[in-house]
Structures are given as structure tokens and as C-alpha cells.
């Protein structure tokens, strides 16, 4: 025992300082984890107790590490987004007095003990991402935030449906799914919450997925030069750190966590004619007949809320639509599928079937005192199904069957943020959350996901064919159930370009099946704007033309003959390209690689792809470079990233790593094709149910880089592909080796193409070449991607379509290995 001598004043001073320290700690508005007190290692997980918090660090794979942190002991694990479980990985966990060290094959994790802080490093010790010293993770009341050191030159991309620039540096965003009719081009938040982004610095890339459904906030150096941060208004700090050398691998690892999109029906990739609203039935049939008469290929017509009886869900207005089943059958006979809108609000009305059955099943969300929440939307005062309960989803699916049995092919989920007049649902409304009740504050951002899930599972269970499900509101993981469109945009030039960036950002965030209202939803597009927007929309996955009530008509023929010809040209091109697009959608269902592909994915360290002059450019798949411009532009500046680029219309070649100024006209959208690309095409059809000719066109572009394209085909509608009913083959081009190889086909589906016509772009003139050792004759000819524009320009000169000189030859389509020496 040690004896301490201290006079009374010394004792009083010590006590005062101790009390002051305790008081200051108790009164601090900010709480931090403090120092590590206890560490427990179990398999691939480290559990940590600190002065003020509890943490779990779990290795999900060699490239993915999960971090959980809370002031209270961590609850049982649950997520609507994450469907993956930790995979067995080779790891090593050690510790000393200063740190805990986790090593995988792909990265290192260093967890400081005094205080608790996390650093992620490459295997050779480079810092990928680290907590900002002195801030790390903290709580202000129930709000939790993690602060990361802002690295020199760091860029940020992703975060889903967010306005602003491709590079998020210097910006801040909030996630709270919102009904934002006619939103401004800088509006935040919008309709969806995808709290996943990627950081880029010093030739290093990482991803962070913050899985917390409370209102969340992200700061990428806005109003500070010290940190980036992410946090939420409640719940725990729960994020997944992903490290790969390439962005596409980070996106795939994110999809491994949250799921991949299902392969959509082929018809949903065709042109969709929408309006708010087409009614009565005679008007719907008039639109359908005009599409066919004017030879505008199309696969769908969508019915907005006016098909219902007084906007009541699961009803039809019998005066406007006396026999829905007969109407949908007539449309289907014309090759047109019917999609109907569904909103979650169920009108409070005695005798109304959905209201009575919903009450009987007790599936509506409630206040804490047990009364159903009532909010006002289109039908009037409504109750809302609780899609966070299996009981609620089952009820919805039973009601939804009515549509399927009436021949409806698509379900459009709208107003599912939840939207109500006033936009202020009370925080104290309760949701089941799969039997673990939570408030509206935690359930709000996942409501759209759970509604889309109920719609998809219900439609799939009832239909023999693949359903099409569309959603406006979403959370991470919604890609497993529904396509997504960007909501109520405006018929304005900057909205058209914003839409492209929104789709690129969604693609960077694991959402591949996306679209926007081409032509703009609110307001009236000019002829030029409409025409340009329809050209761009031909190169996005969900091709939808839509405009609101009390605007002028926006069908392709509504803007004059010249606009119709130009628009029809690009819709035709879309249908020619369906073999390419369907193959790319199949790729997305397996790898999460988006079809609207930001240039940042393949050119991550090229600063010019982030330049605001070029950030609207994107790849359609991996072959087509799309350069959108305002319809009023006469000249445009285009950046060509690394590679060799062919003008799609003329085959003129531009070298990569180059900026170029080009003349622009409304007749053609600037489109380029990368050297080495392989583009399969078919003959023109008026809808996907129509059989193309038996010859597949295979466009091959000379380039120095090797390339592999996976061609994919199935029946386009059913589920036989899940049991081997598909046709797939790899087509590889060796680049400088000048060799093209079609691998042996896999799957047991018989391709509809009996012949392959090879169309060679950029190769020197040859009269013959070798296929599987045999000499084949080659024909020189011209090829045009667009039909001639038959109208005369203002000077009275006939305007022909641009064409390119190509060489072509045709062979029988053997399913065996085919080698072509070019």
C-alpha cells in the first residue's frame, strides 16, 4: 500500500477537478466511442467494447468488411437491403496495446485502441480510407455520424438518384424519399435512397454502403476541407467497406451484398407509350392503332390513375373501361402490353372492397393508440398497407391478382415515398418491420422497396411470364424487384441532361434498369427538345415517353412530320439493337454492370471525364459513346476517352484521349462506337413478339484492344432460362491479332437466327478471308444505321442518311466453335 500525503487545499483542488471533468463529460452534447476496453475475437468477427460504445467488425469477404457501432449493445441483425451472409475467408487477426489488426488477401484493417478509430489499407500498406482523427464516429443525441479523412484530390461518385455533378466533391446530400413534383435541377432529396458511394484517390478506389434506413446525410467536403462524412438521424452506425482496384468490381461486390436485378421480359425493353392519362378505351385503342399505322415500333401502353373508379385502387371506371380483359387482349394481339399504375393509398369508404378486406386483415399502418393512420391522396382520405409485414404483402398480392387475370403485364408503383398531400406523415406512425415495430422515421425510406417487393412477388406468383414492375421510390436492394424511373421531371433542356446524370449515377450505385420521362412530364416541350430527348432515350434501358394532364400531346407524331421521322428513326434503331441491349441486360443481371455506364467506370483516373463539359456523356453498354447536347446547340465539345472511336453514321475515326468540337444538328444524336466492339443487331420489327429475319447481323469494329462480348438469347418471357433454356456464346476479338472467335454455344435454347452476317468496320479492303480454315468471299457495300430523312431542309436540298463503307459476308450459324481470320 502506498501512502499519499496531501493537504486539505490539495484534496479540495483534486476533488474539484474531478467533479469538473465529470460535469463536462456529462454535459457534452457530442459523445464519442473513447478508448477500447475489451476485445473478443470469434472467427471472422471482432467484438469491441469502448468507454462509450459497442462495435463489431466482420469480414464478409476478402474485399468487404462490415462495421457496426452503437452507444447501446448491438441489436439482432436485420436489413431489407443486404441479403448476403459472410463468406468463409482466409484472414489473420492480431492485436497489441495500440491496435487490432485484421488482414485478408485483399486489404488490411487497423483498429486503433486509444481512441477507437479505423483505417483501411492495401496489402502493401497504402491508406485507402481512414477515420478523421479527433472526430472518428460521434453521436449528437440520437444522430450518429462517421467522419473520414478527406484525402488529397479525392473524388466521390454514386449515391444513386442525386442531382449535381458526377463528382460529388464539395457537395452534401440528404436521403429522405420525397414526392417532388416538377423538381428543380438542384433539388435534394428526390424519390430514392441508395446510400452507397465510391471514393477515388491516388489510384485507389473504395466503396462505402451505409445501411441505415433513417433519414441520412452525406457530406463530401461541403463547408469544410477536413472530412467526408455519413450519418443518420437514428439507429446504429452500420456500413460496409469495399475495396477493389476497379470500380466495376466494387459495384459487383455491392450487388453481391444487396442483390441483382432479375432478367426483365424482352417486351419491357421496347418503346413504351405513356400519358397521364389515356382514357377511355377508345382513346387507348386509337393510340395503339396510330402506333401501328405510322410504323412506330412499340411494346407497351401505360394507364395512369384515370383508369380507376374515382382513383380507387383495384377498380376500373366501367364507363371508360367496360371490359378491361377484352381490351388488354386486343392490345396484346397488336403486340402491346398493358401496364397500370398502382398507388398505396386505400380510400376510406364503407363497402369498397379493398378497404373492407384491408380492415378485415388488419394490414394498415397505425398510430401508437391502435388507430389506423389516415392521409389524403388522390382518392381522398386513405389508409396505407404495411408492406413491412408479411401479412400486408400477402394481402397486397391477393388483391393484385385481379390485374394479372385481366391481362395486365406490368405494375407501376407510384406515390410510394409515402406521398400524401401536405408531405408530412407523422413520425409516430408505427410499422411492423417484420415483427419488430418501428416508427415512421425508420420505415419511411424502405416503404417503396417493400411495396415493390410485394408487387413483384405477387405478379411473379400469378403470372406464367416474367412481370414488369416499375417503382418511383426505392432503397438499396430495390433492384431485386423493380425498374426505376426518375419521377416527375420537366420539359426543359437542363432536365433532359440532368436525367442522363441521374441514370449514370444510379448505374454507379447498382441500379441498371432505369429510365426517365422522355420529353418531360411537366410543361410542353419544344419540337427540338422533344426530338433530341427521344433520340437520347433510345439509348437507355427503360424507353418511356410520358407527359402529364393538361399538356399538349407528346406521341411521336404530335410534333410534326420531320420530328416523327427522326424519332421513328431512333425507335427503329432501338429495335435493331435489341440483341445487343438484351445481352447487356443479361450481363447486368449477373454482374450489376449498368447499361447507362458512366465514363468514370472504365476511365476512373482520367480527370476529363469528371469535367462538367463532358460529365453528361455515357456509354450505352460498353460499345456506344453517347454525347447528349441541348436541342438548341449548333456545335458541341466532345471528349473521347482512351481508345479508337468510330462515328456511328459515317465510320469516321477519332483517336482517344482527345477533345473535339463537332457540328450538331437535330437530325442525328452524336453517337460513336469504340474500336474492338462487337454489336449484334437484327432486322426491324414492330414489337418484340414479331419474329425478325433469320439472320443476325454482327458488327465488328477494328481496334487494337481485345474485347469479349457475351451474346445472350432466350424466349424473352418465361423462366425456362433459369433451367438452362437459353442460348449464350462468347464472341471474342483479339485486337491486334485480327482474329474473331465465336465460342461454342451453351444452353439448350434454339437460337432464332440461322445465319450470321458479319459486317466489318474499319478493316482494309479484302475480297476474301478465312472462316474455320475455309476461304469466304467478302463484299464491299455501304451501311446506314438510320433511314433517309425524306423531308427537305430549309434550302430545299434532299437530306440523305449518312452511311459508312463496310465489308460483309454471311455464314450458316453453327453452334460450334467458329474462327474468323480478319
Q: What is the DSSP string of 446-463?
A: GHHHHHHHHHHHHHHHH-
Whether 142 is a known active-site residue: answer: no
Angle ∠(815,817,818) on CA atoms, nearest 5: 100
Cα–chain center distance at 95: 41
Please report which helix (H) or strand (E) contains residue 573, including its range: helix 561-576
d(CA 569, CA 563): 10
Catalytic residue among 179, 236, 343, 488: 488
The sheet that has 172-175: what strands, in order across it? Answer: 30-31, 137-140, 143-149, 227-232, 216-219, 172-175
Whether 765 is a known active-site residue: answer: no
d(CA 307, CA 320): 7
Q: 199: Cβ–Cβ under 8 A, 6 or more apart, which residues?
A: 129, 151, 154, 155, 156, 205, 206, 207, 208, 228
Whether 493 is a known active-site residue: answer: no
d(CA 268, CA 545): 13
d(CA 539, CA 570): 9
Residue 557 contacts residue 564 (beta carbons within 8 Å): yes
Residue 622 contacts residue 652 (beta carbons within 8 Å): no
385 DSSP assignment: B
What's the Cα-to-Cα distance from 76 to each of 88, 438, 663, 738, 768, rounded to whole Å?
Answer: 21, 14, 60, 57, 68
442 DSSP assignment: H
d(CA 197, CA 505): 9
- Which of 245, 247, 316, 239 lies closest to 277 in space, CA to CA? 316
3-state secondary structure 293-323: HCCCCCCEEEECHHHCECCECCCCCCCCCCC
d(CA 729, CA 815): 9
Cell numbers for 386: 404495411
- Please state the length of the chain: 822
Residue 820 contacts residue 758 (beta carbons within 8 Å): yes
Catalytic residue among 70, 171, 217, 414: 414
Report CA torsion sign: 317, 321, 325, 331: negative
Catalytic residue among 70, 131, 171, 417: 417
Residue 644 contacts residue 704 (beta carbons within 8 Å): yes
For residues 797, 802, 804, 808, the Cα torsion angle rounded to the nearest 10 degrees is -100
115 DSSP assignment: T
Name the region of 652 (left: φ>0; alpha: ψ -120 to 50; beta: rest): beta
Coil, helix or strand for 508?
A: helix
- Which of 258, 246, 261, 260 lies closest to 63 in space, CA to CA? 246
Cis peptide before 115 (omega within 30 of 0): yes
Any idea which residues carry the catalytic annotation? 414, 417, 488
Amino acid at each position: 500500500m502506498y501512502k499519499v500525503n496531501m493537504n486539505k487545499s490539495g484534496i479540495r483542488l483534486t476533488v474539484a477537478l474531478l467533479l469538473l471533468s465529470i460535469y463536462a463529460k456529462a454535459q457534452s452534447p457530442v459523445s464519442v466511442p473513447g478508448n477500447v476496453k475489451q476485445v473478443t475475437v470469434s472467427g471472422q468477427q471482432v467484438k469491441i467494447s469502448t468507454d462509450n460504445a459497442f462495435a463489431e467488425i466482420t469480414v464478409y469477404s476478402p474485399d468487404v468488411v462490415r462495421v457496426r457501432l452503437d452507444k447501446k449493445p448491438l441489436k439482432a441483425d436485420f436489413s431489407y437491403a443486404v441479403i448476403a451472409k459472410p463468406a468463409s475467408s482466409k484472414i489473420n487477426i492480431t492485436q497489441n496495446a495500440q491496435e487490432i489488426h485484421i488482414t485478408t488477401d485483399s486489404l488490411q484493417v487497423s483498429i486503433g485502441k486509444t481512441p477507437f478509430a479505423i483505417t483501411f489499407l492495401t496489402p502493401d500498406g497504402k491508406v485507402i480510407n481512414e477515420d478523421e482523427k479527433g472526430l472518428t464516429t460521434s453521436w449528437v443525441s440520437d444522430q450518429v455520424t462517421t467522419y473520414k479523412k478527406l484525402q488529397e484530390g479525392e473524388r466521390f461518385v454514386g449515391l444513386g438518384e442525386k442531382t449535381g455533378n458526377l463528382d460529388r466533391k464539395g457537395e452534401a446530400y440528404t436521403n429522405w424519399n420525397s414526392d417532388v413534383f416538377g423538381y428543380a435541377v438542384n433539388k435534394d432529396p428526390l424519390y430514392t435512397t441508395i446510400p452507397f458511394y465510391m471514393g477515388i484517390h491516388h489510384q485507389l478506389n473504395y466503396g462505402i454502403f451505409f445501411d441505415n434506413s433513417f433519414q441520412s446525410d452525406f457530406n463530401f467536403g461541403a463547408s469544410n476541407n477536413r472530412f467526408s462524412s455519413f450519418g443518420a438521424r437514428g439507429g446504429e452506425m452500420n456500413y460496409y467497406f469495399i475495396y477493389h482496384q476497379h470500380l466495376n468490381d466494387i459495384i459487383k461486390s455491392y450487388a453481391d451484398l444487396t442483390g441483382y436485378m432479375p432478367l426483365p421480359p424482352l417486351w419491357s425493353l421496347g418503346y413504351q407509350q405513356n400519358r397521364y392519362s389515356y382514357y377511355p378505351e377508345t382513346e387507348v385503342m386509337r393510340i395503339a392503332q396510330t402506333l401501328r399505322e405510322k410504323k412506330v415500333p412499340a411494346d407497351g401502353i401505360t394507364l395512369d390513375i384515370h383508369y380507376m373508379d374515382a382513383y380507387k385502387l383495384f377498380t376500373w371506371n366501367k364507363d371508360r373501361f367496360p371490359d378491361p380483359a377484352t381490351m388488354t387482349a386486343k392490345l396484346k394481339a397488336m403486340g402491346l402490353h398493358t401496364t397500370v399504375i398502382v398507388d398505396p393509398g386505400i380510400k376510406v369508404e364503407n363497402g369498397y372492397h379493398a378497404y373492407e378486406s384491408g380492415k378485415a386483415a388488419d394490414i394498415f399502418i397505425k398510430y401508437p393508440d391502435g388507430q389506423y393512420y389516415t392521409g389524403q391522396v388522390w382518392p381522398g382520405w386513405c389508409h396505407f398497407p404495411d408492406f413491412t409485414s408479411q401479412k400486408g404483402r400477402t394481402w397486397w398480392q391477393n388483391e393484385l391478382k385481379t390485374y394479372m387475370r385481366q391481362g395486365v403485364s406490368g405494375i407501376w408503383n407510384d406515390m410510394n415515398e409515402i406521398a400524401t398531400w401536405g408531405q408530412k406523415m407523422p413520425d409516430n406512425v408505427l410499422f411492423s418491420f417484420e415483427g419488430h415495430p418501428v416508427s415512421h422515421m425508420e420505415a419511411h425510406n424502405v416503404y417503396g422497396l417493400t411495396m415493390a417487393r410485394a408487387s413483384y412477388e405477387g405478379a411473379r406468383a400469378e403470372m406464367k411470364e416474367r412481370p414488369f414492375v416499375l417503382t418511383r421510390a426505392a432503397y438499396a436492394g430495390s433492384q431485386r424487384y423493380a425498374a426505376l424511373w426518375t419521377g416527375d421531371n420537366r420539359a426543359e433542356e437542363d432536365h433532359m441532361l440532368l436525367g442522363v446524370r441521374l441514370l449514370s449515377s444510379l448505374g454507379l450505385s447498382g441500379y441498371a434498369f432505369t429510365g426517365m420521362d422522355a420529353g418531360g412530364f411537366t410543361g410542353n416541350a419544344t419540337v427540338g427538345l422533344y426530338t433530341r430527348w427521344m433520340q437520347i432515350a433510345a439509348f437507355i434501358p427503360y424507353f418511356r415517353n410520358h407527359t402529364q394532364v393538361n399538356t399538349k400531346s407528346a406521341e411521336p407524331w404530335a410534333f410534326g412530320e420531320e420530328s416523327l421521322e427522326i424519332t421513328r428513326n431512333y425507335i427503329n434503331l432501338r429495335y435493331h439493337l435489341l440483341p445487343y441491349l438484351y445481352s447487356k441486360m443479361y450481363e447486368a443481371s449477373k454482374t450489376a454492370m449498368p447499361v447507362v455506364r458512366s465514363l468514370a467506370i472504365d476511365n476512373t483516373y482520367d480527370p476529363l471525364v469528371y469535367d462538367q463539359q463532358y460529365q453528361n456523356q455515357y456509354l450505352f453498354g460498353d460499345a456506344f459513346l453517347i454525347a447528349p447536347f441541348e436541342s438548341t446547340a449548333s456545335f458541341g465539345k466532345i471528349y473521347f476517352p482512351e481508345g479508337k472511336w468510330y462515328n456511328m453514321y459515317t465510320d469516321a475515326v477519332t483517336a482517344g484521349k482527345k477533345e473535339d468540337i463537332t457540328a450538331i444538328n437535330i437530325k442525328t444524336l452524336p453517337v460513336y462506337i469504340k474500336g474492338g466492339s462487337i454489336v449484334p443487331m437484327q432486322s426491324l420489327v414492330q414489337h418484340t413478339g414479331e419474329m425478325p429475319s433469320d439472320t443476325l447481323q454482327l458488327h465488328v469494329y477494328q481496334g487494337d484492344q481485345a474485347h469479349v462480348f457475351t451474346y445472350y438469347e432466350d424466349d424473352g418471357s418465361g423462366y425456362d432460362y433459369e433451367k438452362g433454356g437459353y442460348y449464350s456464346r462468347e464472341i471474342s476479338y483479339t485486337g491486334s491479332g485480327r482474329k474473331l472467335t465465336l465460342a461454342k454455344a451453351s444452353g439448350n435454347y434454339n437460337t432464332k437466327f440461322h445465319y450470321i452476317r458479319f459486317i466489318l468496320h474499319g478493316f482494309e479492303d479484302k475480297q476474301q478471308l478465312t472462316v474455320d480454315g475455309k476461304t469466304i468471299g467478302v463484299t464491299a457495300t455501304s451501311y446506314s444505321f438510320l433511314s433517309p430523312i425524306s423531308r427537305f431542309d430549309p434550302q430545299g436540298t434532299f437530306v440523305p442518311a449518312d452511311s459508312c463503307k463496310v465489308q460483309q459476308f454471311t455464314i450458316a450459324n453453327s453452334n460450334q466453335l467458329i474462327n474468323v481470320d480478319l
